Structure 1
Amino acid sequence: MKKKIAFATCVQLGLSCIEEIYQIGGKLDLLITLQDEKAVEKSGRVYLDEFANKHEIELLKINNINDQTVLSALDDNEIDWLFIIGWSQIAKKEVLEKPRFGCIGMHPTLLPVGRGRAAIPWTILKNLSKTGVTMFKLDEGVDTGDIIAQAQIKLSENITSTELYEKVNDLHITLISNNWDNIVNNNITLTKQDEEEATYWRGRTPEEGEIFDSMTIVEADRLIRAVTHPYPGAFYRKKDKTIRIWKSDISKISGDIKLKDGYLILLEYEIEEKYHANKI
């Protein structure tokens, strides 16, 4: 019997998975996304209207994944599996139990390491040598569900969030492609996470991208790489101006911004004439 599958996303990582499902001959019965006016500043925000229209898929736009409209749509479409990928809201028990077999998520770390938020920036800020993407069955915890599959990424010393996001996106596609048949045939193997190895990373705000004179050049360089596109960017305040920095180099001898032990050389940046905390 054919499985009926729904997919909830509002970011590029999810859309890439959806496109891959159709590339390999799969089909979705329901798409779920946020209302157009919600999370417009969210990193990687995308809209599913064009894909839904092209492939004649029902598209449900919602305020929250736990809305009654979601529960009703899952019931009406007799959904067996629901993917929830790149979605900040936590699905409650009623949603998780509504699909016949459950819900599947992906997280851009090698779980149980790095549960929580801002996984890509934290990976760079923590100067990790490797990371990856985990496909797992969602439960009521935060990234605590049983693992379906994982894939690893080796990290270079100077990797940026832009580059890591692309690698993470590629692994989302790979994991979908490699595991789709097992999912639709209900042939997945679940592995429990090792709680002794679990770590949690908190969310970050745009204001945490500020560079201070007291920082070392290594600290500043790492922050710039961690919060560059698709994130809000690092910034340095200079009198009545804010310099938004997307790419830089470092020097012990000279540069554009003097720090504790050297200089930042600005390669890609924007100058904002006045600093407004609510604009970043």
Structure 2
Amino acid sequence: MRFGFVTCVQLGLSCMEAIYDVGGKLDLAITLEDDMAQAKSGRIYLDDFCGQNGVDLLKVRNINNQTAVAAIQERSIDWLFIIGWSQIARAELLASPTQGVIGIHPTLLPVGRGRAAIPWAIIKGLDQTGVTMFKLDDGVDTGPIIAQRVIPLAADCDAGKLYAAVNDAHVDLIREVFPRLRDGTIEPRAQDDRFATEWPGRTPQDGSIDLAGSVFEAERLVRATTRPYPGAFVDRANGRLVIWRAHRADRIADTTEMTGAQPPVIHFSDGMLVVDEWEWQEKSN
């Protein structure tokens, strides 16, 4: 079997390293041109890795261009991994490897197809989530499942902790599955669409806390949108309180006004949210 890998972020590079950790090798790596996505979170460059391991490296502006398709076909790539890549692979690219294209999605598919998987898992109060390695098709996260890894969600799990666990699970899945891909012994199974759910994308404005809602929902929103995400917040006339950490309380002896000068307490009909870590952003004129 011959393998290719498409990535431009640290998570993808960690997965590439994992392939070599289990005695595998890559025959092609594809990444973005150096001047693209320079501000992207986790952006990395593959020159050193590919040079050290003798991997052919191709830099593209779009994964679907003819240069990428031709490179895959000319090298007779059997399996192509695409991890940490925002461009959607089109039909011609998906058909270029002889066996198919592999992606990893941070939910237990078919649950949670779509976007913002880490925040949604916490907002929805799930007791577990996971990652799914699957064969890409022309749908959105609908392809046959190759393997899955379950991630339990503790009551205090936040986006930072889950983000790290998801990244670790990506690497673990690569180490577990790659030998079977190389030996041709995997048996992908179709997703059961009866259990499919779709989660929509989220924007920074979706971090707005509903003061007329529940303290339980607010506390989950804080955990779901903390770093590396933009944070939950409450807007006031003179600025915005961005909340990175908070905990619920039934009562508190010393309540303070939400001015940004003292640790704020936010009152709800069913309890209070005590803010432990916050950032006050003054309103610009």
Question: Residue 60 of structure 2 aligns with which residue?
Answer: 62
SS in 2 for 1:259: strand
Q: Which of 253, 256, 280 is the aligned partner of 1:271?
A: 280
Length-normalised TM-score, structure 1: 0.89
Paired position in structure 1 for 2:173 = 175
- If the length of structure 2 is used for normalisation, what is the TM-score? 0.87
Residue 187 of structure 1, CA deviation? 1.7
- Say whether residues 1:260 and 2:268 are aligned partners: yes
Out of 156-165 and 238-247, give the one that drifted further. Answer: 238-247
Contact 1:133–1:151 at 8 Å: present in 2 too? yes
Aligned position for 2:77: 79
| Runs (5+) with no aligned partner, structure 1 | none
Q: In the aligned structure 1, how far is the partner of 2:198 from the partner of 2:15?
A: 25
Distance in structure 2 (CA, Å) of the matches to 1:124 and 1:142 = 22
| Alpha-carbon separation, structure 2, partners of 1:82 and 1:108 | 19
Q: Structure 2 stretches of 5 or more lacking a match?
A: 256-263
- The equivalences for 1:137-148 within 5 A come to 137-148=135-146
1:240–1:127 CA distance, 2 compared to 1 (3 A): same
Q: CA contact under 8 A between 2:110 and 2:197: conserved in structure 1?
A: yes
Which segment drifts farther, 174-183 or 76-85?
Answer: 76-85
Report how far residue 48 of structure 1 moved: 3.2
Q: Contact between 2:22 and 2:179, CA under 8 Å: does it hold in 1?
A: no
Give me the identity figure in percent: 51
**Among candidates 242, 247, 258, match of residue 245 of structure 2:** 247
Pairwise CA distance, 1:53:
3.9
Determine the structure 1 residue equivalent to 2:11: 13
Moved more, 250-259 or 206-215: 250-259
| Count of residue pairs the alignment pairs up | 274
Displacement of 1:240: 2.8
Deviates more, 1:229-238 or 1:140-149: 229-238
Q: Which position in structure 1 is the counterpart of 2:184?
A: 186
User: Which whole-Å CA distance do the structure 2 matches of 1:69 and 1:162 have between them?
Assistant: 37
SS in structure 2 opposite 1:193?
coil
1:1-280 to structure 2, matched below 5 A, reads 3-40=1-38, 42-254=40-252, 256-261=264-269, 262-274=271-283
Distance in structure 2 (CA, Å) of the matches to 1:38 and 1:275: 31
Q: Are the aligned partners of 2:107 and 2:131 in contact in 1 as well (CA < 8 Å)? A: yes
The letter of the residue matching 2:281 is E
Greater gyration radius: 2
Instruction: Return closer, same or farther for 1:216/1:7 CA change in 2, 3 Å cut-off.
Output: same
Give the Å deviation of 1:51.
2.8
